[in-house]
Structure 1
Amino acid sequence: MTRFLFGTTLGMTLGTTAAALMVAMSVSSSVWAATTLRFAHPTPQSDLQHVLAEKFKEEVEKASDGDLKVQIFPNGQLGNDAQMIDGARSGIIDITLSGLTNFTGMVPEAGAFELPFMFTDSNAAYQALDGAPGEAVMSKLPALGLKGLAFPENGFREMTNNRGPIREPADLKGLRMRVNNSITLNNMFELLGANPQQLPVAELYTALETGVVDAQEHPLGIVVSFNFNEVQDYLSISNHAYSALLMVMNQKRFDSLTPEQQQIVEKAAADATAMQRQMNTEQTEQMITTLEEEGMEVNRDVDTAAFQQAIEPVWETFVDLNGDEMIKAIQAVSGERQS
């Protein structure tokens, strides 16, 4: 089985991130007179992750009467997810937003949240993320140099491809499926006969366009904001995994703020997350309609029960590696399926 290593790129990636920040450092000294927090995220400005960042900036600057300012770097300007996380750990970046799966190299048990078919709806996921299981993940972050702020939403992952509708596990056989660095999702697609391939999301459009891969799986917001519908013909509403985001801040930077400023930052993160989650829920059906209008063939008749039965070994592998404590904690607060 392939072994993936995450969160270990600090020495290799700081130079890249520091070079990108040279542009940011050229702003006028009047801007930097206040305490300026550098906030980096990976998505285009059209994505709800950027809307969250703008809401956070607005609330922080207003509540602090301008004593705190937030400078946003969208669209991976300061590096890929691993580089931005490493930058936040070192203090080159103050705040970043990334998929929870990108932290599982440092907090392996957090991978339980993205086990296939762990959650049936977003509210169940919120119960776990905002409750004791999420707090357990947050408690691991200070030792890594990070302060956890919130769990915004990436959403339920769906499958797109250029071969045909995906209705049952056999429909995945032979598909060259782009996957992220989630061990559980890699194991899932490999088990079901697909050929999983890891690629940065910034390279995915070209990879789909040129046929390097012929399928991918992401929440709808990412499909729309990265225009994957232009290079993919079929969308299958599989809801095969829920993907949370994790918003973190450099711990030393957070500790350097006054208690009042810390409260402002934490409240702004919570408010922006609540807004972003609600917007994502409200826009889901509209995004599907838009993708259909722009030419994608959409199917909702995915045999969820067949998929759940087929991927049981993925759960078993996770338990063998990480134990079942986090799974049981999630199930206890969310009321979801029992393994």
Structure 2
Amino acid sequence: MKFASNIVAGMALAAAVSVSGAVGAEAKTKMKISHYLPAVHGIHTDFIEPWARQVSECTGGEVEFEIYPAGTQLGNVARQQEQVMAGVVDIAHGLHGIPRGRFPRTSLIDMPFLTDDAGAATYALWSMLPDELAEEYEGMKVLALHAHNGGLVHTSEKKVETMEDLKGLRIRTPSPAISDMLSFLGADPQGLPPGEAYENIQRGVIDGTVFPWDPVKSFGLNEVLQYHLDAGVYTVSFFFVMNERSYNRLSPEAQACVDKYSGDALVAKFGDWWDKWDAPGRQQAIDAGHVISELADDERARWREALQPMMSAYLQKMKDAGIDDADEIYQKMQDRIAEYEASHRD
């Protein structure tokens, strides 16, 4: 009988340990983060990895993250928004312009000549999120909106310094506004994910691309490019969002940790980050002996004049699509950028 009692007691203890272990396992929440950039990009190394680590440490290990960059099954640039909305991933970082048409209000920041400063564009987007842009993010908790520094025109075989030089060139484009801009300047815009630019330039399918400096290095594009026009006439914007249900499932303490490292504290870093990320790409081009040209002031004035009809037509297109306040959003973006630039003058 004593032997039998020991067996029963042992079984009870084993069951208790098993239940305890199960409870402990359930207390940990594993979350997936996806983005479309290479794991060597600053978005991954300086932003997403440290963010995940900080949040996890803040929660005492309650929340753990798995990150899926470009090259993984969840790294497709065109699927970032739908993946997070469907709960396939919990958090995603993506481009507002790919696929087209999902963030029309936010994407007005892509209009030419608004700014060439990542910090200014990021400030405008984040400050306008609660009112003008909120409806585009239903079902998502927005952790950050941001933009890159002014983009350049990069080409493989032909040096570009004027509108005439652009005529007929097949240039990879990231968004509808930039496509319209390139068309009005005489180029032939080609909609391609950023990760496909290298192969298509190498094969001669396209003649070049518009990018800031940082993806030129992270996608290895200096190997297939020779000429770079520092035009700085546009920027492109990005989202970093969380599935609302995923956020709501977290404990209040874990939610507080997500909030602590997101929002205002996060968006304030992007201006300096983009400056840091751009520098190696430019230096790599210099070291390779590439030709880097600046858009001359008189040519910039020509571009601005040539693009006025395009900008008016683009705003009208937005209004025809149901964005009745497109003019007001565009004006407020200009005002917020001016605020930022005035406050950051030396």
Distance in 2 between the 1:243 and 1:79 partners? Answer: 19
The answer on whether the counterparts of 1:153 and 1:273 sit within 8 Å (CA) in structure 2 is no
Unaligned runs of 5+ in 2: 1-23, 319-325, 340-346
Q: What's the offset of the Cα at 1:98? A: 0.9
Distance in 1 between the 2:186 and 2:57 partners? Answer: 52
Partner in structure 1 of residue 113 of structure 2: 117
- Aligned ranges for residues 209-228 of structure 1 at < 5 Å? 209-228=202-221
Q: What's the offset of the Cα at 1:272? A: 4.8
Q: What's the offset of the Cα at 1:138? A: 5.0
Q: What is the TM-score with the length of structure 2 in the denominator? A: 0.81
Matched, 1:73 2:68: yes
Q: What's the offset of the Cα at 1:122? A: 3.2
Secondary structure of 1:295's aligned partner: coil
Q: Using the aligned pairs only, state the percent identity.
A: 26
Distance in 2 between the 1:97 and 1:138 partners? Answer: 17
Q: How many residues align?
A: 305
Q: In 2 relative to 1, CA 160–228 (structure 1 residues): closer, same or farther, beyond 3 Å?
A: same
Partner in structure 1 of residue 316 of structure 2: 320
- The range that moved more, 284-293 or 68-77, is 284-293
Distance in 2 between the 1:166 and 1:43 partners? Answer: 27
Matched, 1:151 2:145: yes
Distance in 2 between the 1:207 and 1:81 partners? Answer: 17
The answer on whether the counterparts of 2:118 and 2:146 sit within 8 Å (CA) in structure 1 is no
Secondary structure of 1:38's aligned partner: strand
Find 2:237's aligned residue among 223, 239, 244. 244
Q: Which amino acid aligns with 1:41?
A: H
- Aligned ranges for residues 1-339 of structure 1 at < 5 Å? 34-51=28-45, 52-77=47-72, 78-102=74-98, 105-131=101-127, 133-136=128-131, 139-143=134-138, 145-180=139-174, 182-270=175-263, 271-302=265-296, 303-322=299-318, 323-335=326-338
The answer on whether the counterparts of 2:119 and 2:268 sit within 8 Å (CA) in structure 1 is no
The answer on whether the counterparts of 2:119 and 2:147 sit within 8 Å (CA) in structure 1 is no
The answer on whether the counterparts of 2:119 and 2:271 sit within 8 Å (CA) in structure 1 is no
The answer on whether the counterparts of 1:155 and 1:244 sit within 8 Å (CA) in structure 2 is no
Q: What whole-Å deviation, never above 9, does each CA across 1:10-31 have from its counterpart, x for those lacking one?
A: xxxxxxxxxxxxxxxxxxxx98
Structure showing greater Rg: 2
The answer on whether the counterparts of 1:152 and 1:274 sit within 8 Å (CA) in structure 2 is no
Say what the alpha-carbon RMSD is for the aligned residues.
2.3
The answer on whether the counterparts of 1:160 and 1:215 sit within 8 Å (CA) in structure 2 is yes
Distance in 1 between the 2:158 and 2:223 partners? Answer: 16
Q: In 2 relative to 1, CA 138–34 (structure 1 residues): closer, same or farther, beyond 3 Å?
A: farther
Q: What's the offset of the Cα at 1:293? A: 0.4
Unaligned runs of 5+ in 1: 1-29
Distance in 1 between the 2:181 and 2:338 partners? Answer: 23
Q: In 2 relative to 1, CA 138–71 (structure 1 residues): closer, same or farther, beyond 3 Å?
A: farther
Q: In 2 relative to 1, CA 281–256 (structure 1 residues): closer, same or farther, beyond 3 Å?
A: same
Q: In 2 relative to 1, CA 58–273 (structure 1 residues): closer, same or farther, beyond 3 Å?
A: farther
Q: Which amino acid aligns with 1:215?
A: G
Distance in 1 between the 2:309 and 2:29 partners? Answer: 50
Q: In 2 relative to 1, CA 251–103 (structure 1 residues): closer, same or farther, beyond 3 Å?
A: farther
The answer on whether the counterparts of 1:188 and 1:311 sit within 8 Å (CA) in structure 2 is yes
- The range that moved more, 267-276 or 71-80, is 267-276
Q: What's the offset of the Cα at 1:298? A: 0.8
Q: In 2 relative to 1, CA 168–32 (structure 1 residues): closer, same or farther, beyond 3 Å?
A: farther
Secondary structure of 1:216's aligned partner: strand
- The range that moved more, 42-51 or 319-328, is 319-328
